[in-house]
Amino acid sequence: MLPPDDFDPPVGHAETLETGLRRIVAPNPSPMTYRGTNTYLLGETALAVIDPGPISDSHLTKILDAVGPEQHISHIIVTHTHLDHSPLARALSDATSAPVLAFGAADAGRSAVMQQLAAAGTVGGGEGIDSDFMPDILLEDGELITHADWQLEVIHTPGHIGNHISLGWGDACFTADHVMGWASSLVSPPDGDLTDFMASCTRLQARNWRVFFPGHGAPVDDPAARLNWLVSHRLSREASILELLENTPATASELAQTIYTTTPPALLGAAIRNVLAHLIDLKGRNQVTHDGPLHETAIFSLKHPS
């Protein structure tokens, strides 16, 4: 599946996607954020702002300018605590008096394995985390946020980061960085957890979605196909890792450089993190092992049944 290269909306423009839904792209394009973070404005009177975005005075102004005379911002909802999604929430809240709602602080929702790795502090990671973030209102899995002319269902989808939520809106879903059309998600331990990521995919696959509105890039019009692709993409990466380890033990970095041959150099670091996430998942499933403590440069080998 190729990325939709024709997605290049004007930055800072509130574009109507559907009745009651607008999108403003933040001015933070990069290899990791594509054209920039998508900030969504949901509602006709009382607006929910989903993912205010990075710290940016101009983006804050664009969000406030998009509020019509009969409208006000009633909710600020953050899908996860990465610096391209959450930091502007506080300034927007200060400007509007709307509360900030999210699953939790930066370390919320971590799996037991990742809590241990985070405490050990040996696997690196921590890229782009908004460690200062604290919501006013904590959201729980399954909770319904109902207001005026919209209702959102909180769906906890850890994997990209433990506190990541998706938001169901009828048969549409705001999938943030869990499912995007232009790229697969970064899963970087100890915040990212591939075991959780796959389970979150399975969870979304159980529903019949019409469209996904991602945190970056164009709406995904074929959610089921995209989820199937994501899962099979991960399984094929896993198969490549196991095949290489069949021949010789290797580090995450060595495996990534062999597997991600078409990846631009700027993204190789992210590829290494993804491979490490696979190795930790495979270790949890008792398929690989490593010498000494688990750190970024640990050498992994297949665990043959004894």
Amino acid 155 reads: I
Give me 213's structure tokens.
């509105």
Quick check: 203 and 153 in contact, CB under 8 A? Answer: no
Give SS3 for 241: helix
- Contact positions toward Zn ion, by CB under 5 A? 82, 177
Give SS3 for 192: coil
Give the shortest CB-143-to-Zn ion separation in angstroms.
21
Residue closer to Zn ion (CB basis): 159 or 223: 159
Residue closer to Zn ion (CB basis): 191 or 238: 191
Residue closer to Zn ion (CB basis): 28 or 287: 28
Cα separation of 45 and 92, whole Å? 17
Give the shortest CB-82-to-Zn ion separation in angstroms.
3
Strand partners, 76: 49, 100
Give the shortest CB-85-to-Zn ion separation in angstroms.
6
Give the shortest CB-106-to-Zn ion separation in angstroms.
12
Residue closer to Zn ion (CB basis): 177 or 281: 177
Residue closer to Zn ion (CB basis): 114 or 282: 114
Name the closest residue to Zn ion (Cβ): 82
Cα separation of 73 and 121, whole Å? 39
Give the shortest CB-83-to-Zn ion separation in angstroms.
8
Question: Helix, strand, coil shares of the chain as percentages rounded to 5?
Answer: 30, 20, 50
